[in-house]
Structure formats: structure tokens, C-alpha cells
């Protein structure tokens, strides 16, 4: 399997330096290097190392030296960004901090666990985080100046591929392209009215003070993400939920209850707890219209007709998906399911299994060009539906080639070209940038000449 992992392009994407250690170890901090006027602390290195350990990545006696070089590079980027007077706005820093805090809290499972682990409130954590986030954004901006305009032509890709030793050509795992035609049962007006009336009565009980929002959410909400927590959602960024939810959350006042509103998931009411710029804490109750068994059967029968046409006539699957599928995302790509990790239509089999075991199982016995009969499944918005699956392509494990794997090879060629540009930039900047490394890190086998 090809993995595009360039040590100089990974600017602490998942967690931030100095705050990503999972083990609460007390580190006696000290400066282990200085680049320009920017110190590199022992705690920064140890945080990166502990993060690798917590994620069960392979570590050895050279790991700290490799991390040291990555951190020296980041400090060099920061030093040059300062020289070039690059700037990030306070709004950009706030947005990045909120995004990271939300990620951390998700990993811990709740804000209470997060604050208990770090022994400080979210606001105190943000205050400590602010300068680090600003430095990280400046470093990223500087790297964009180095690599942002680099691209590769088809000829560059061919030359790169031709230069790979035969025994070093990457191995590509088995991959598939899978299409679908989805039919969702139509919701009757009666079902929609029943759901709307139910949530309206819940809202009325809250307004009258008969019960708390949290209690009724726990009893009646059909939102699996919040019902068990009394409807509570914390640190929700604008754009994270459906537009209708955002429109209410960023309109009502603190403590206020929204009117009943409709989304693709069903009918909601929300109560605002707190709003901080483009982030809110709120309680939410969802009541979804119930699908009638007869309407679900009609959806299946509709797909039965489509299946018969697909298997007996020379009808193009892409056209049928575009015309009949109720799944907006896949119908716009000719019915093909999009890999959320790559944005492409190919899935490695293990990726497909992680995303949807039912799809992986259903296509296992299909030959290329074959279809499943209509099978039931649950849509992303939690509704019952039926779909036909189509196996467009299946490749066996193989060495990468330009015909089948051009995009992957192109991505590697681009990464290599970017890395060469970065190496040249580092060499140039080290000639006129002050760098000091403490004695205990001078014996590392660095790729670049950090030690003069």
C-alpha cells in the first residue's frame, strides 16, 4: 500500500506541539535548541514522542533524533515567517483553537474528562495554547510559500515512475469501485404531521415548566448523538451540523428555546446554553417521522424494476443512477460511492470494510459488472431505505503502474518534488540563520546540516 508520509510535510496535523502528550508525565523542561530567536523545548520533543507511543507507532533509539529534525524544521519555518513579516489574524487563531479544542474533547468523550485530565478549564487551556497555535499557523503559511506553486506534469510523472527501481515499485492493495442506486421511502404527510405534533407538544411542556429540556430529551429524543446526555451538544462549530440547525442555534438567545424546525433528519427544537463566536453549546431534541412499512416495500419494488432492467437490458448504470437514485452525493458521480478519505471512487478493501461492512460483504461474491438485488440499509441520516450495489472494478494486489494507479503515482511524484524544494530551501536558509543545538542532540544523524 502506498503511504504518502513526508516527514517535512507533517506539521503536527492531528495534535499541537506541547499539548498532545497523552501520558501525564512531569517533564523537567529545558531549551534543547534555538533557531533564529525561537527556542525548542524538551517538552515539545517529549510530547511528540509520547504521542507516537500512545498511537502505538513503532519507536526505536533513533525516533527522538528524527522528531528533533522535524521540530528544527518547524522552528526554521517560524524564523523565516518572522523575517518575512508574515501574519495571521486573531480570528484565524481563534478558529484554529476552537477546532483543536473540539477535537480534543471528542477524543476524551466530554469536556469534564478533558478538564480533569489537564487540570484546567477550556478557557485556561486556550490561553496557554494561543501562542503555539499562532506559531503553527505562521509555519504552515511559510511552508505554503515554499511548496504552494509546485506541480507535476504528466511527463514528470512518467519520468519519476521510470526512475523507480523495479524492486522498489510500491505495492497497491486490492481495490474496488462500487456504485449504488438508492431508493428512500416517501414520507407521508400523516407521518410528518405526527412527528411535528409530538415535538410541538414536548416544546409546550418545556415552555410551561412541566419538565426540563434535558429530562424530555433523555426520554423522547431520537438523536443517538445526544439523547443519552439530555440532548447536550458542546463546542459545535458553525457549519458542523445541517444549515437549519445552525440557523436556529446562532439566532436564539442564551437560555431561549427555538421554534420547531424541519431538517433532513426530522423535526428539531434546540435550547441555547452558550454561544462563543462561531461556536455554541446547546441542547437538542429530534423527532423523526416514522416510515410506513408499505412505503418501504414500494421503495424495494421500485428497485426490483430497475434491477430487472439493469440485468436484462443494455442500460447504462450511470444514467440509471443519475435518473432514479435518491442519494444526491453518489448520483452526481455516476452512482459511484466516493471515498471520504481520498475524494476518489476507489476503495482499498480494508478501507471499504471500515466504512461499511455491509457493502464489503455484499460485493464479496460479485463479479465485475454485476449487481446485487435490492438490499435494505440505513442511510447517513438514520433512515431506512433500499439500494442496489454495483461492482464496477476490482483490482488484485499489484505493483503500481501508470495505467491503473496514475493518481497515486502522481501524488508521490508531487510529494517528492515538494520535498526536494524543501531540502533546497533548508540548505539555503541554514547558511544565514542562527541555529544552536545542545550537546546531547549533536550526535543525531540529521539529513540537513543543523550542526555547524
Q: What is the DSSP string of 190-218?
A: HHHHHHHHHHHHHHHHHHTTSS-HHHHHH
154, with CB counted inside 10 A (0-12, 13-18, 19+), is exposed
Residues near 263 by beta carbon (within 8 Å), at least 6 away in sequence:
242, 244, 245
Contact 73, 114 (CB under 8 A): no
122, 173, 168: which is closest to 416 by C-alpha? 168
Residue 5 has pLDDT above 50, yes or no: no
Q: Judging by DSSP bridges, how do beta strands 31-35 and 232-237 pair with one another?
A: unpaired
Q: Indicate the CATH number for domain 173-187+292-399.
A: 3.10.50.40
The span from the CA of 9 to the CA of 327, in Å, is 36
Give the whole-number percent of the chain exceeding pLDDT 90. 56
Residue 10 has pLDDT above 60, yes or no: no
Residues of the chain with CATH 1.10.4030.10: 31-154+407-441
Residue 347's beta-bridge partner residues?
176
pLDDT, position 28: 66
CATH class as words, domain 189-287: alpha beta
208, 374, 375, 204: which is closest to 285 by C-alpha? 204
Tens-digit pLDDT profile for residues 373-396: 999 998 877 788 999 999 999 988
Cell numbers describing residue 54: 500512545
Cell numbers describing residue 128: 496557554
Q: Judging by DSSP bridges, how do beta strands 232-237 and 279-287 pair with one another?
A: antiparallel
Alpha helices in 260-371 (DSSP H): 293-312, 317-324, 328-331, 349-355, 357-363
Q: Is the pTM of this model over 0.75?
A: no
User: Which has more confidence, 117 or 428?
Assistant: 428
Contact 393, 376 (CB under 8 A): no
pLDDT, position 161: 94
pLDDT, position 6: 43
Contact 73, 133 (CB under 8 A): no
**Residue 286: count of CB within 10 angstroms of its CB:** 25
What is 119-135 written as a DSSP string? TS-HHHHHHHHHHHHHH
Residue 20 has pLDDT above 80, yes or no: no
The span from the CA of 393 to the CA of 347, in Å, is 10
Vertex 126: Cα angle to 120 and 130 (nearest 5)? 140
Q: If you average pLDDT over every residue of the chain, what do you get?
A: 87
The span from the CA of 129 to the CA of 119, in Å, is 14
The span from the CA of 228 to the CA of 217, in Å, is 8
User: Which has more confidence, 301 or 353?
Assistant: 301
Q: Indicate the CATH number for domain 31-154+407-441.
A: 1.10.4030.10
Contact 438, 31 (CB under 8 A): yes
412, with CB counted inside 10 A (0-12, 13-18, 19+), is buried
**Residue 311: count of CB within 10 angstroms of its CB:** 12
The span from the CA of 341 to the CA of 344, in Å, is 8
Residue 186 has pLDDT above 90, yes or no: no
Residue 1 has pLDDT above 60, yes or no: no
Tally of CA atoms within 13 A in the half-sphere of 6 that contains its CB: 18
Residues of the chain with CATH 3.10.50.40: 173-187+292-399, 189-287
The span from the CA of 360 to the CA of 369, in Å, is 16
The span from the CA of 225 to the CA of 265, in Å, is 13
Q: Considering all CA atoms of the chain, what is the largest pairwise distance in Å, rounded to the nearest integer? A: 78
Provide long-range contacts, Cβ within 8 A and 24+ apart, for 364-368.
366/391, 367/391, 368/392, 368/393, 368/394
User: Which has more confidence, 235 or 419?
Assistant: 419
**Residue 437: count of CB within 10 angstroms of its CB:** 20
Contact 324, 181 (CB under 8 A): yes
Tens-digit pLDDT profile for residues 43-97: 889 988 888 887 778 888 899 999 999 999 999 999 999 999 999 898 888 888 8
Amino acid at each position: 500500500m502506498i503511504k504518502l508520509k513526508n516527514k517535512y510535510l507533517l506539521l503536527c496535523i492531528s495534535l499541537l506541539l506541547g499539548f498532545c502528550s497523552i501520558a501525564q508525565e512531569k517533564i523537567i523542561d529545558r531549551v534543547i535548541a534555538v533557531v533564529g530567536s525561537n527556542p525548542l523545548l524538551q517538552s515539545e520533543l517529549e510530547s511528540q514522542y509520547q504521542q507516537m507511543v500512545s498511537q502505538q507507532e513503532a519507536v526505536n533509539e533513533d525516533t527522538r533524533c528524527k522528531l528533533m529534525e522535524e521540530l528544527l524544521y518547524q522552528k526554521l519555518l517560524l524564523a523565516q515567517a518572522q523575517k518575512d513579516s508574515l501574519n495571521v489574524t486573531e480570528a484565524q487563531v481563534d478558529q484554529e483553537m476552537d477546532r483543536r479544542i473540539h477535537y480534543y474533547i471528542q477524543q476524551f468523550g466530554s469536556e469534564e474528562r478533558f478538564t480533569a485530565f489537564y487540570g484546567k478549564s477550556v478557557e485556561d487551556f486556550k490561553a496557554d495554547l494561543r501562542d503555539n497555535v499562532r506559531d503553527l499557523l505562521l509555519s504552515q503559511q511559510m511552508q505554503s510559500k515554499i511548496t504552494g506553486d509546485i506541480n507535476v506534469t504528466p511527463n514528470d510523472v512518467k519520468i519519476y515512475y521510470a526512475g523507480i527501481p523495479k524492486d522498489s515499485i510500491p505495492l497497491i492493495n486490492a481495490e474496488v469501485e462500487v456504485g449504488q442506486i438508492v431508493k428512500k421511502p416517501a414520507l407521508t404527510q400523516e407521518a410528518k404531521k405526527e412527528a411535528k405534533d409530538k415535538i410541538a407538544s414536548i416544546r409546550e411542556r418545556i415552555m410551561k415548566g412541566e419538565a426540563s429540556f434535558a429530562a424530555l430529551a433523555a426520554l423522547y429524543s431520537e438523536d443517538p448523538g445526544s439523547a443519552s446526555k439530555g440532548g447536550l451538544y458542546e463546542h459545535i462549530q458553525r457549519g458542523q451540523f445541517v444549515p437549519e440547525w445552525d440557523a436556529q442555534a446562532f439566532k436564539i438567545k442564551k437560555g431561549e428555546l427555538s421554534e420547531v424546525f424541519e431538517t433532513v433528519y426530522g423535526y428539531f427544537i434546540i435550547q441555547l446554553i452558550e454561544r462563543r463566536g462561531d461556536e455554541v453549546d446547546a441542547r437538542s431534541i429530534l423527532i423523526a417521522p416514522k416510515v410506513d412499512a408499505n412505503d418501504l416495500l414500494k421503495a424495494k419494488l421500485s428497485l426490483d424494476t430497475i434491477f430487472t432492467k439493469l440485468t436484462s437490458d443494455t442500460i447504462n448504470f450511470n444514467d440509471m443512477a443519475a435518473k432514479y437514485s435518491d442519494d444526491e452525493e453518489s448520483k452526481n458521480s455516476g452512482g459511484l460511492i466516493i471515498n471520504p478519505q481520498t475524494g476518489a471512487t476507489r476503495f482499498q478493501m480494508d478501507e471499504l470494510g471500515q466504512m461499511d461492512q455491509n457493502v464489503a460483504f455484499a460485493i464479496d461474491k460479485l463479479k465485475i459488472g454485476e449487481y446485487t438485488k435490492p438490499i435494505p440499509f440505513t442511510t447517513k441520516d438514520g433512515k431506512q431505505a433500499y439500494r442496489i450495489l454495483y461492482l464496477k472494478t476490482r483490482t488484485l494486489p499489484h505493483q503500481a503502474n501508470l495505467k491503473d494507479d496514475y493518481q497515486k503515482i502522481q501524488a508521490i511524484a508531487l510529494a517528492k518534488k515538494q520535498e526536494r524544494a524543501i531540502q533546497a530551501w533548508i540548505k539555503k536558509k541554514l547558511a544565514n540563520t542562527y541555529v544552536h543545538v545542545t550537546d546531547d542532540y549533536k550526535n543525531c544523524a540529521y539529513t540537513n546540516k543543523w550542526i555547524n
